[in-house]
A = this chain, B = another copy of it.
Amino acid sequence: MGGAKLMDGLAMLAPDVSLSVVVNTGDDFEHLGLRICPDLDTVMYTLAGLANPDTGWGLRDESFQALSTLERLGAPSWFRLGDRDLGVHLERTRRLRQGERLTEVTHVICGRLSVGPAVLPMTDTAVATKVQTHDGELDFQDYFVRLRCEPVVTGFRFAGIEDASPSSEVLQALDHAEAIVFGPSNPFVSIAPILALAGIRERIAARPAVAVSPIVGGQAIKGPAAKMLGELGLDASAVAVAKKYGGLIRGFVLDALDRDLAPQVEALGIRVLITNTVMRSPDDRRRLAQETLDFVRNLTPTASD
Protein backbone atom coordinates (compact mmCIF):
# COMPACT_ATOMS: atom_id res chain seq x y z
CA MET A 1 0.00 0.00 0.00
CA GLY A 2 1.35 3.43 -0.92
CA GLY A 3 5.02 4.18 -0.86
CA ALA A 4 5.54 4.02 -4.60
CA LYS A 5 9.32 3.77 -4.37
CA LEU A 6 9.27 0.81 -1.98
CA MET A 7 6.66 -0.88 -4.19
CA ASP A 8 8.99 -0.32 -7.12
CA GLY A 9 11.75 -2.02 -5.12
CA LEU A 10 9.45 -4.96 -4.36
CA ALA A 11 8.51 -5.15 -8.05
CA MET A 12 12.24 -5.55 -8.83
CA LEU A 13 12.23 -8.77 -6.79
CA ALA A 14 10.03 -10.53 -9.34
CA PRO A 15 9.71 -13.41 -9.99
CA ASP A 16 10.59 -14.13 -6.34
CA VAL A 17 7.79 -11.74 -5.37
CA SER A 18 4.40 -11.53 -7.05
CA LEU A 19 3.27 -8.08 -6.07
CA SER A 20 -0.17 -6.51 -5.75
CA VAL A 21 -0.23 -2.85 -4.73
CA VAL A 22 -3.37 -1.62 -2.99
CA VAL A 23 -3.67 2.12 -3.54
CA ASN A 24 -5.57 4.82 -1.72
CA THR A 25 -8.26 6.55 -3.81
CA GLY A 26 -9.36 9.06 -1.18
CA ASP A 27 -7.24 11.71 -2.93
CA ASP A 28 -9.13 11.24 -6.19
CA PHE A 29 -11.07 14.19 -7.47
CA GLU A 30 -12.84 15.67 -10.44
CA HIS A 31 -11.01 18.53 -12.09
CA LEU A 32 -12.02 20.12 -15.37
CA GLY A 33 -14.35 17.19 -15.89
CA LEU A 34 -11.51 14.70 -15.54
CA ARG A 35 -11.19 11.97 -12.94
CA ILE A 36 -7.77 12.43 -11.42
CA CYS A 37 -6.26 9.78 -9.12
CA PRO A 38 -2.99 11.20 -7.78
CA ASP A 39 -1.90 8.24 -5.66
CA LEU A 40 -2.79 5.74 -8.35
CA ASP A 41 -0.89 7.76 -10.94
CA THR A 42 2.19 8.09 -8.76
CA VAL A 43 2.25 4.33 -8.25
CA MET A 44 1.60 3.59 -11.95
CA TYR A 45 4.16 6.06 -13.21
CA THR A 46 6.78 4.90 -10.71
CA LEU A 47 6.27 1.23 -11.56
CA ALA A 48 6.32 2.07 -15.29
CA GLY A 49 9.63 3.88 -14.88
CA LEU A 50 7.97 7.07 -16.14
CA ALA A 51 7.81 9.07 -12.91
CA ASN A 52 9.46 12.43 -12.69
CA PRO A 53 12.39 11.88 -10.30
CA ASP A 54 12.64 15.57 -9.39
CA THR A 55 9.07 16.48 -8.44
CA GLY A 56 7.72 13.37 -6.72
CA TRP A 57 4.62 13.60 -8.93
CA GLY A 58 3.83 13.53 -12.61
CA LEU A 59 5.78 12.21 -15.56
CA ARG A 60 9.35 12.72 -16.63
CA ASP A 61 9.96 14.73 -19.82
CA GLU A 62 6.58 16.35 -19.29
CA SER A 63 5.32 19.50 -21.02
CA PHE A 64 2.63 21.92 -19.90
CA GLN A 65 1.14 23.41 -23.06
CA ALA A 66 -2.47 22.62 -22.21
CA LEU A 67 -1.98 24.14 -18.77
CA SER A 68 -0.49 27.30 -20.23
CA THR A 69 -3.58 27.63 -22.44
CA LEU A 70 -5.80 27.09 -19.39
CA GLU A 71 -3.88 29.82 -17.59
CA ARG A 72 -4.30 32.17 -20.54
CA LEU A 73 -8.04 31.46 -20.53
CA GLY A 74 -8.30 32.22 -16.82
CA ALA A 75 -9.30 28.63 -16.05
CA PRO A 76 -8.47 26.92 -12.74
CA SER A 77 -4.79 26.05 -13.10
CA TRP A 78 -3.67 25.38 -9.53
CA PHE A 79 -3.43 21.66 -10.26
CA ARG A 80 -0.32 21.12 -12.41
CA LEU A 81 -1.70 19.04 -15.26
CA GLY A 82 1.00 17.89 -17.66
CA ASP A 83 0.24 17.17 -21.30
CA ARG A 84 1.18 13.47 -21.18
CA ASP A 85 -0.53 13.15 -17.82
CA LEU A 86 -3.68 14.61 -19.41
CA GLY A 87 -3.74 11.74 -21.87
CA VAL A 88 -4.05 9.34 -18.93
CA HIS A 89 -6.81 11.36 -17.26
CA LEU A 90 -8.75 11.64 -20.52
CA GLU A 91 -8.62 7.92 -21.19
CA ARG A 92 -9.42 6.99 -17.60
CA THR A 93 -12.40 9.34 -17.57
CA ARG A 94 -13.61 8.06 -20.94
CA ARG A 95 -13.55 4.45 -19.77
CA LEU A 96 -15.20 5.24 -16.42
CA ARG A 97 -18.00 7.05 -18.30
CA GLN A 98 -18.45 3.91 -20.38
CA GLY A 99 -19.21 2.11 -17.13
CA GLU A 100 -15.92 0.32 -16.52
CA ARG A 101 -14.80 0.00 -12.91
CA LEU A 102 -11.72 1.98 -11.82
CA THR A 103 -10.01 -1.36 -11.16
CA GLU A 104 -10.61 -2.49 -14.73
CA VAL A 105 -9.53 0.85 -16.19
CA THR A 106 -6.35 0.80 -14.10
CA HIS A 107 -5.64 -2.74 -15.26
CA VAL A 108 -5.89 -1.68 -18.93
CA ILE A 109 -3.77 1.45 -18.49
CA CYS A 110 -1.12 -0.43 -16.50
CA GLY A 111 -1.00 -3.06 -19.22
CA ARG A 112 -0.38 -0.40 -21.86
CA LEU A 113 2.33 1.16 -19.69
CA SER A 114 3.99 -2.24 -19.16
CA VAL A 115 3.50 -2.16 -15.39
CA GLY A 116 4.20 -5.63 -14.02
CA PRO A 117 2.53 -5.72 -10.58
CA ALA A 118 -1.24 -5.63 -10.10
CA VAL A 119 -2.12 -2.04 -9.18
CA LEU A 120 -5.40 -2.16 -7.27
CA PRO A 121 -7.44 0.91 -6.33
CA MET A 122 -8.68 0.26 -2.79
CA THR A 123 -12.29 0.54 -3.95
CA ASP A 124 -14.33 1.22 -7.09
CA THR A 125 -16.68 3.48 -5.15
CA ALA A 126 -16.01 7.18 -4.64
CA VAL A 127 -14.41 8.00 -1.30
CA ALA A 128 -13.25 11.55 -0.67
CA THR A 129 -10.72 12.41 2.01
CA LYS A 130 -11.67 15.60 3.84
CA VAL A 131 -9.11 17.41 5.95
CA GLN A 132 -10.56 19.06 9.05
CA THR A 133 -8.59 22.19 9.87
CA HIS A 134 -8.75 25.42 11.81
CA ASP A 135 -10.01 26.90 8.54
CA GLY A 136 -12.84 24.37 8.36
CA GLU A 137 -13.18 21.13 6.44
CA LEU A 138 -11.26 21.09 3.16
CA ASP A 139 -11.22 18.82 0.14
CA PHE A 140 -7.96 16.95 0.13
CA GLN A 141 -6.49 18.44 -3.05
CA ASP A 142 -7.55 21.87 -1.90
CA TYR A 143 -5.58 21.36 1.30
CA PHE A 144 -2.69 19.54 -0.31
CA VAL A 145 -2.06 21.39 -3.56
CA ARG A 146 -3.82 24.71 -3.49
CA LEU A 147 -3.14 25.54 0.18
CA ARG A 148 0.20 23.67 0.28
CA CYS A 149 -0.76 21.86 3.52
CA GLU A 150 -0.63 25.15 5.40
CA PRO A 151 -3.90 24.97 7.43
CA VAL A 152 -3.58 23.38 10.88
CA VAL A 153 -5.09 19.90 10.86
CA THR A 154 -7.53 18.74 13.53
CA GLY A 155 -8.78 15.51 11.95
CA PHE A 156 -9.82 13.63 8.84
CA ARG A 157 -13.02 12.30 7.37
CA PHE A 158 -13.37 9.82 4.54
CA ALA A 159 -16.64 10.82 2.94
CA GLY A 160 -18.47 7.87 1.43
CA ILE A 161 -16.40 5.26 3.25
CA GLU A 162 -19.49 3.66 4.84
CA ASP A 163 -20.98 2.93 1.44
CA ALA A 164 -17.71 1.87 -0.13
CA SER A 165 -16.34 -1.63 -0.07
CA PRO A 166 -12.94 -2.86 -1.13
CA SER A 167 -12.93 -4.33 -4.62
CA SER A 168 -13.05 -8.10 -4.90
CA GLU A 169 -9.54 -7.88 -6.40
CA VAL A 170 -8.26 -6.21 -3.23
CA LEU A 171 -9.93 -8.75 -0.95
CA GLN A 172 -8.53 -11.60 -3.01
CA ALA A 173 -5.05 -10.13 -3.02
CA LEU A 174 -5.14 -9.81 0.78
CA ASP A 175 -6.58 -13.30 1.24
CA HIS A 176 -3.79 -14.81 -0.82
CA ALA A 177 -0.93 -12.64 0.34
CA GLU A 178 2.11 -14.33 1.82
CA ALA A 179 2.84 -11.04 3.54
CA ILE A 180 1.63 -7.46 3.65
CA VAL A 181 3.89 -4.42 3.56
CA PHE A 182 2.75 -0.91 4.49
CA GLY A 183 4.92 1.49 2.51
CA PRO A 184 6.46 4.57 4.13
CA SER A 185 3.33 6.48 3.17
CA ASN A 186 1.32 9.07 5.02
CA PRO A 187 -0.53 7.12 7.74
CA PHE A 188 -3.43 9.58 7.90
CA VAL A 189 -4.26 10.20 4.25
CA SER A 190 -2.67 7.32 2.32
CA ILE A 191 -2.98 4.30 4.63
CA ALA A 192 -5.90 5.18 6.93
CA PRO A 193 -8.51 5.36 4.11
CA ILE A 194 -7.59 1.82 3.05
CA LEU A 195 -7.78 0.58 6.65
CA ALA A 196 -11.17 2.25 7.08
CA LEU A 197 -12.81 0.06 4.44
CA ALA A 198 -14.93 -2.80 5.74
CA GLY A 199 -13.09 -6.11 5.95
CA ILE A 200 -9.57 -4.76 5.50
CA ARG A 201 -8.28 -4.63 9.08
CA GLU A 202 -9.32 -8.22 9.87
CA ARG A 203 -7.62 -9.49 6.74
CA ILE A 204 -4.39 -7.67 7.45
CA ALA A 205 -4.35 -8.80 11.08
CA ALA A 206 -4.67 -12.41 9.92
CA ARG A 207 -1.39 -12.29 7.94
CA PRO A 208 2.20 -11.30 8.57
CA ALA A 209 2.27 -7.55 8.06
CA VAL A 210 5.05 -5.04 8.47
CA ALA A 211 5.24 -1.29 8.03
CA VAL A 212 8.14 0.87 6.92
CA SER A 213 8.29 4.08 8.91
CA PRO A 214 7.42 7.24 6.96
CA ILE A 215 9.05 9.32 9.69
CA VAL A 216 12.82 9.52 9.94
CA GLY A 217 14.47 11.66 12.61
CA GLY A 218 11.19 13.43 13.32
CA GLN A 219 10.75 14.41 9.66
CA ALA A 220 8.50 12.95 6.98
CA ILE A 221 10.38 11.49 4.03
CA LYS A 222 7.91 13.36 1.83
CA GLY A 223 4.72 15.32 2.44
CA PRO A 224 2.97 16.56 5.57
CA ALA A 225 2.96 13.43 7.79
CA ALA A 226 5.22 14.94 10.49
CA LYS A 227 3.35 18.24 10.45
CA MET A 228 0.05 16.36 10.83
CA LEU A 229 1.33 14.31 13.76
CA GLY A 230 2.38 17.48 15.57
CA GLU A 231 -0.87 19.31 14.88
CA LEU A 232 -2.84 16.32 16.17
CA GLY A 233 -0.91 16.49 19.46
CA LEU A 234 1.17 13.39 18.74
CA ASP A 235 4.92 12.98 18.73
CA ALA A 236 6.29 13.52 15.27
CA SER A 237 8.13 10.23 15.56
CA ALA A 238 8.15 6.74 14.11
CA VAL A 239 6.73 5.47 17.40
CA ALA A 240 3.49 7.37 16.88
CA VAL A 241 3.11 5.67 13.49
CA ALA A 242 3.80 2.23 14.94
CA LYS A 243 1.15 2.91 17.58
CA LYS A 244 -1.33 3.93 14.91
CA TYR A 245 -0.80 0.54 13.23
CA GLY A 246 -0.99 -1.35 16.53
CA GLY A 247 -2.89 -4.63 16.34
CA LEU A 248 -2.29 -4.82 12.58
CA ILE A 249 1.44 -5.15 12.11
CA ARG A 250 3.94 -7.61 13.54
CA GLY A 251 7.04 -5.82 12.36
CA PHE A 252 8.23 -2.26 11.91
CA VAL A 253 11.15 -1.02 9.82
CA LEU A 254 12.90 1.82 11.57
CA ASP A 255 15.54 4.04 10.06
CA ALA A 256 19.05 3.74 11.50
CA LEU A 257 18.74 7.36 12.54
CA ASP A 258 15.89 6.33 14.86
CA ARG A 259 17.55 3.24 16.38
CA ASP A 260 17.02 4.68 19.88
CA LEU A 261 13.26 4.36 19.36
CA ALA A 262 13.40 0.58 18.86
CA PRO A 263 12.59 -0.29 22.51
CA GLN A 264 9.46 1.88 22.43
CA VAL A 265 8.21 0.08 19.32
CA GLU A 266 9.11 -3.34 20.72
CA ALA A 267 7.19 -2.45 23.87
CA LEU A 268 4.10 -2.41 21.63
CA GLY A 269 4.73 -6.08 20.83
CA ILE A 270 6.11 -5.23 17.40
CA ARG A 271 9.41 -6.58 16.09
CA VAL A 272 11.85 -4.02 14.72
CA LEU A 273 14.21 -4.00 11.77
CA ILE A 274 16.77 -1.20 11.77
CA THR A 275 18.19 -0.19 8.42
CA ASN A 276 18.61 2.75 6.06
CA THR A 277 15.10 3.53 4.81
CA VAL A 278 15.70 6.64 2.71
CA MET A 279 15.57 5.62 -0.95
CA ARG A 280 17.68 7.85 -3.15
CA SER A 281 18.40 5.42 -5.99
CA PRO A 282 16.88 2.35 -7.64
CA ASP A 283 19.46 0.29 -5.75
CA ASP A 284 18.16 1.73 -2.47
CA ARG A 285 14.64 0.70 -3.44
CA ARG A 286 15.64 -2.85 -4.25
CA ARG A 287 17.80 -3.22 -1.10
CA LEU A 288 15.13 -1.89 1.27
CA ALA A 289 12.53 -4.08 -0.44
CA GLN A 290 14.71 -7.18 -0.08
CA GLU A 291 15.47 -6.44 3.58
CA THR A 292 11.80 -5.79 4.30
CA LEU A 293 10.83 -9.01 2.56
CA ASP A 294 13.40 -11.03 4.50
CA PHE A 295 12.19 -9.39 7.70
CA VAL A 296 8.54 -10.26 7.14
CA ARG A 297 9.40 -13.80 6.01
CA ASN A 298 11.30 -14.38 9.23
CA LEU A 299 8.48 -13.20 11.45
CA THR A 300 6.75 -16.03 13.22
CA PRO A 301 3.00 -16.27 12.71
CA THR A 302 2.13 -14.24 15.79
CA ALA A 303 3.65 -11.04 17.02
CA SER A 304 4.11 -12.30 20.56
CA ASP A 305 6.46 -15.21 19.75
Residues in chain A within 8 A of chain B (CB atoms): 32-34, 62-63, 65-70, 72-76, 82-88, 90-91, 93-94, 97, 108-109, 112-113
Give chain B nearest CB distance to A215 CB in angstroms.
Answer: 35
State which of B62, B75, B85 has its C-beta within 8 Å of the C-beta of A90: B75
Chain B residue contacts of A68, Cβ below 8 A:
84, 87
Chain B residue contacts of A88, Cβ below 8 A:
69, 73
A interface majority secondary structure: helix
Instruction: Please list 16 pairs of residues, one from A and one from B, whose beta carbons are closer than 8 Å in the complex, sorted by A's number.
Output: A32-B90, A32-B94, A33-B33, A33-B90, A33-B93, A33-B97, A63-B63, A65-B84, A65-B87, A66-B84, A66-B86, A69-B83, A69-B86, A72-B87, A76-B94, A86-B86
Q: Is the CB of A73 within 8 A of B86?
A: no
State which of B72, B73, B113 has its C-beta within 8 Å of the C-beta of A72: B113
Name which of A90, A93, A113 has the most chain B CB atoms within 10 A of its CB: A90
How far is B86's CA from A120's CA once the two chains are assembled, in angstroms?
29
Chain B residue contacts of A91, Cβ below 8 A:
32, 69-70, 73, 75
Q: Is the CB of A87 within 8 A of B73?
A: yes
Chain B residue contacts of A94, Cβ below 8 A:
32-33, 75-76
Closest B residue to A59 by beta carbon equals B69
Closest B residue to A83 by beta carbon equals B65
- Tell whether A87 pairs with B112 under 8 Å between CB atoms, given A75-B94, A93-B32: no
How far is B75's CA from A108's CA once the two chains are assembled, in angstroms?
11
How far is B88's CA from A67's CA once the two chains are assembled, in angstroms?
10
Known: A32-B91, A69-B88, A72-B87. 5 other contacts (CB 8 A): A63-B63, A66-B83, A73-B112, A75-B87, A86-B86
